[in-house]
Amino acid sequence: MTDFQIVEHHQCFEGKQLFCQHHSTVLGCAMNFAVYLPPKAELLDCPVLWFLSGLTCTEGNFIVKSGVQRYAAEHSMIVVSPDTSPRGTATAGEDADYALGTGAGFYVDATQAPWSKHYRMYSYIIEELQQLIVSGFPVLAHQQAITGFSMGGHGALVLGLRHPGLFRSVSALAPICAPSQCPWGKNAYKAYFGSDVETWSVYDAVQLISQGARHSTIYVDQGSDDEFLGEQLRPELLQQVCNQNGQDLRLRMLDGYDHSFYFVSSVIGDHVALHAERLQQG
């Protein structure tokens, strides 16, 4: 078990909101993460929902702004919110662009210097933090779901598609659906992986589905007034590849919602309820 410290503790909807820190051997730096324990976790192991946040966010944005604790308490779900990147690693260029480096780990394992030394968020979540959460908290390890917002929605789709046995339910809120085909993704992936676009496909949900990756059902919510809808998020590409390859996609377009935590807080209750139901189905 990886050691960690609880640095903040708050009572919330009769459960506990924890903010924790540990040293990550995968990333080579101190990392923060947040865990909400519903009231039921005092007595029994509970299912867990992973929430991956978007560009510029930390482990705290979603936890503070979304109101997820109310729904997690109601459905007896543990909620885990990791940070979005390594921090303070002195990697050249990590603070030069909001969409690259600090706050922009994209949930990938970089292969190009100087990023490859520390920027390995994929392995961090799948291996190190996964082990820490399962061993350190009252988690039902066989009942895990994943969701996320924007860059985190991309991460949820990729991790869910690549690990359907681990994450038995997957959803996303306004995800970057095809990072290989949008400015944010192209900018980050060229730095993290180099110019050979073929190497980008393992971290691109559209490419993964076209190459045969599957999950039982993918749920996506997207606001119609999202300012990044056309250029960056590209849900039409996800819909197209799912239609072409027989992947079940439930894409819900919601009128009037933008790309903000107002949107996230408006739909997160539906996602918690959805994942709780799917995990209970076995």
Mean pLDDT over 93-97 rounds to 97
Question: pLDDT for 131-163, tens place per residue?
Answer: 999 999 999 999 999 999 999 999 999 999 999
Confidence of residue 281 (pLDDT cuts 50, 70, 90): confident
Cα separation, 157 vs 170, in Å, equals 7
Active-site hit among 171, 226, 271, 275 = 226
Mean pLDDT of 266-279: 98
- Res 282: pLDDT: 64
pLDDT per residue over 181-199, tens digit each?
999 999 999 999 999 999 9
Catalytic pick among 85, 150, 169, 266: 150
259 in catalytic set: yes
Q: Which strand (E) or helix (H) includes residue 172? A: strand 167-173
* pLDDT score at 2: 54
Packing angle of the helix pair 68-75, 261-280 (nearest 10 deg): 10
Residue 34: give its domain's CATH number.
Answer: 3.40.50.1820
Distance between terminal CA atoms of the chain?
Answer: 27
pLDDT > 70 in the chain, percent: 99
User: Which structural domain range is residue 70 located in?
Assistant: 5-280
226 a catalytic residue:
yes
Q: Is the pTM of this model over 0.95?
A: yes
Tell me the two tokens of residue 201. 């496909």
Contact partners, residue 85, CB within 8 Å, separation at least 6: 101, 102, 103, 104, 105, 119, 121
Residue 109: pLDDT over 50: yes
Q: What count of residues does the chain have?
A: 282
Residue 1: pLDDT band (50, 70, 90) is: very low
Question: Chain centroid to CA 13: how far?
Answer: 24
> CA dist 159 to 42, 153, 168, 226, Å?
29, 10, 11, 24
Span 20-73, pLDDT tens digits: 999 999 999 999 999 999 999 999 999 999 999 999 999 999 999 999 999 999
Catalytic residue among 259, 266, 271, 275: 259
Count other C-beta atoms under 10 Å from residue 5's C-beta.
10
Among this protein's residues, is 163 annotated catalytic? no
- Sign of the Cα pseudo-torsion (154, 197, 123, 93, in order): negative
Share of the chain above pLDDT 90, in %: 98
Give the pair of three-digit tokens for residue 206. Answer: 């559209």
Phi, psi of 155 (to 5 degrees): -60, -40
Number of domains in the chain: 1
CA distance 251 to 170: 12
The whole-number average pLDDT for the span 242-252 is 98
